[in-house]
Structure 1
């Protein structure tokens, strides 16, 4: 196995040569085999061990074993202890998720503080098969069937090409000592059930099952790459991105033969999980929306609008004093007295300063708000009607601001000025208000 492993590194991980690498070592057989292999090949290695304190004194036995091995072999060792159960309770996650989160966060800290280049784990081919079967049993998309990646950023898994049998044979031939994890014998966890019962049955049906599985997974990975390429090409035709908002054109989307698959590819990274509700949103009425933990997907006429969640506080207000020259929150506004006026635009208005009552107030619009549109000779209009006429989306309505004098609207910012504050022949003080 040593020569096969050496060739594997030269072929697929040549960039590790001369690098400083950190080996994630539990003390179990797989990680101890990995450490031994790298010792034989004269790499610059260090050992990182996490004590999750989940198995009482057994966990501390693993810690002592790894520490003693590292000292005996003159290998730099880094050890930490976690209160994994407390972390899982605090963050409402499973123990397995908590352990994964804790160890990888610590690994990345070590990479930075101890100047290592990569962290290597001892996942092997049987681990990959077990992960595939777990995902398959729970239901997953194509990416859930492509297996554990050999490289994910700074994390390398150099043993994925090797089976459990190869690892065990190498350990016995080289008299490698290791610690047995008593929890591996229990069928309490789904992975152990699959490892103890399903995988042996599959190997009995086909002695070359791992090899066949590897070929199948290679084909799935190639298909995944093809799907991602197609997704990018179609995205460029259907989606339009502006700042932190993405707008999907539903007319173009629905012309695709399988638009649900594309929506899944585009939206999965934003934390959505209620896929049936998202697909129904395409045909629902305007104004409907779906939330993920950090994003909202809104149906607006012929579009789906994806944006970060911004919970609008309708009572949020900002005062502007008479001598104030600019405002930076929530908008960038400037106030400047001028001698004459130029053309009024959506981003700048001119008002009679003597008609204003300070402090002015910046606030969100409320249902029932009305104003007198500039140029309409004093006729009132609901702000909601203006929004409808301008075809504003729900998101745009929520992000609209009103500049008010006392209870009167001076400007629906970026849209329309109020008639009551216009410049007249008798105006003595002209104030220009500019939206930057």
Structure 2
């Protein structure tokens, strides 16, 4: 169970200067890099009780005192481990200690996985986000904050590379998702820093034994692949951080360049245009039609057909999407 830490720093001013500056760095990342202002808002925090989400809750707790926003934590018991109920009780007690509302829910993720023919990891993700959405609505929260950090981002980049993700998606998860109103304030901070920070406050977080389970892809990447990469390049984390920042810049650029895209692209827009731009236009038109990742090989074939003026050629994409070469350009549609 939760035990009250000795000499716990109650305010930002009570922290050692190093850790106060650490919290202010997170604040700067939120307002600067993510361009989000939390002042006056209600922030929902995904809280597992692990060191990452504990660090996030502590940082946001300290920053709320100077930015005038309220916090609600939400914890999900996945019913997958014997100690899960104890974790839930610990999270509730810790939030009570901080004076933060905590919503604790329990879901049978194992049964959900079987019912929906999913892996346990994906089932847990779906159930968690459904809970976040539900609590966000019921509490009128403005934004959801999650504790993903730089090690998680590195894992995500490697996993995307394994799956064959293209650029700029290869740069990893977003820091701010406008559709879900989701932020990841710790994304540029390595886990080792979070461990040192929470340790200094005297808080004993919860450890999830399933993080060592090699049956999960993310754990194999974390525990086997990344250590080998770091051995070859000890600065890999910094490389991922730079990659992420470049990716965000490029995503913003292409988003503005394709903002006016519709379900048809005229030849006049495609003529005398670099292939990089044409491919982005095709992808933007397809993304506009709904879920389903546009595959690079099919995009290349579509562009080749347009260059060769093969009017009538049709290309199928995931999500029941279709691209057809016509005399005036390319038309995009769905089959449902």
TM-score class, shorter: 0.7 to 0.9
145-154 vs 82-91, greater mean Cα deviation:
82-91
Could you tell me which residue of structure 2 aligns to residue 290 of structure 1?
316
- Counterpart-to-counterpart distance in 2, 1:272 and 1:24: 27
The DSSP-based 3-state class of the residue aligned with 2:187 is: coil
Give 1:341-380 correspondences, 5 Å limit: none
Give the Å deviation of 1:303: 3.8
- Counterpart-to-counterpart distance in 1, 2:143 and 2:255: 27
More helix by share: 2
Could you tell me which residue of structure 1 aligns to residue 175 of structure 2?
150
The DSSP-based 3-state class of the residue aligned with 1:142 is: coil
The alpha-carbon distance between structure 1 residues 289 and 203, as it changes in their structure 2 partners (threshold 3 A), is: closer
Could you tell me which residue of structure 2 aligns to residue 95 of structure 1?
120
Give the Å deviation of 1:120: 1.1
Instruction: Find 2:281's aligned residue among 239, 256, 262.
Output: 262
Give 1:209-228 correspondences, 5 Å limit: 209-228=236-255
The alpha-carbon distance between structure 1 residues 94 and 304, as it changes in their structure 2 partners (threshold 3 A), is: farther
Instruction: Find 1:33's aligned residue among 48, 55, 80.
Output: 55
Q: Report the TM-score, using the length of structure 1 for normalisation.
A: 0.61
- Counterpart-to-counterpart distance in 1, 2:110 and 2:73: 24
Q: Report the TM-score, using the length of structure 2 for normalisation.
A: 0.77
Report the RMSD for the aligned CA atoms in angstroms.
2.8
- Counterpart-to-counterpart distance in 1, 2:163 and 2:284: 19
More strand by share: 1
Is the 1:123–1:157 Cα contact (8 Å) retained in structure 2? yes
The DSSP-based 3-state class of the residue aligned with 2:210 is: helix
- Counterpart-to-counterpart distance in 1, 2:298 and 2:175: 35
201-210 vs 163-172, greater mean Cα deviation:
201-210
Instruction: Find 2:145's aligned residue among 120, 136, 147.
Output: 120
Could you tell me which residue of structure 1 aligns to residue 8 of structure 2?
none
The alpha-carbon distance between structure 1 residues 181 and 294, as it changes in their structure 2 partners (threshold 3 A), is: same
Bigger relative contact order, structure 1 or 2 (CA pairs below 8 A, ≥6 apart): 2
Number of residue pairs matched by the alignment: 299
- Counterpart-to-counterpart distance in 1, 2:243 and 2:299: 31
- Asked if residue 178 in structure 1 is aligned to residue 195 in structure 2, the reply is no
Give 1:398-409 correspondences, 5 Å limit: none
Could you tell me which residue of structure 1 aligns to residue 159 of structure 2?
134
Give the Å deviation of 1:208: 3.8
The DSSP-based 3-state class of the residue aligned with 1:162 is: coil
- Asked if residue 45 in structure 1 is aligned to residue 67 in structure 2, the reply is no
The DSSP-based 3-state class of the residue aligned with 1:69 is: helix
Is the 1:264–1:275 Cα contact (8 Å) retained in structure 2? no
CA offsets 1:193-252 (integer angstroms, 9 cap, x no match)? 2222333344444444323432233223323333334445xxx6xx6x4xxxx2233575
Give the Å deviation of 1:272: 4.8
Give 1:333-348 correspondences, 5 Å limit: none
Instruction: Find 1:276's aligned residue among 291, 294, 297.
Output: 297
- Asked if residue 77 in structure 1 is aligned to residue 102 in structure 2, the reply is yes
- Counterpart-to-counterpart distance in 2, 1:87 and 1:220: 35
Could you tell me which residue of structure 2 aligns to residue 7 of structure 1?
24
- Counterpart-to-counterpart distance in 2, 1:224 and 1:289: 25
- Counterpart-to-counterpart distance in 2, 1:83 and 1:306: 41
- Counterpart-to-counterpart distance in 2, 1:110 and 1:145: 31
Could you tell me which residue of structure 2 aligns to residue 247 of structure 1?
264
Where does structure 2 lack aligned partners over 5 or more consecutive residues? 1-17, 32-36
The alpha-carbon distance between structure 1 residues 80 and 21, as it changes in their structure 2 partners (threshold 3 A), is: same
The alpha-carbon distance between structure 1 residues 79 and 208, as it changes in their structure 2 partners (threshold 3 A), is: same
- Asked if residue 16 in structure 1 is aligned to residue 23 in structure 2, the reply is no
- Counterpart-to-counterpart distance in 2, 1:228 and 1:220: 12
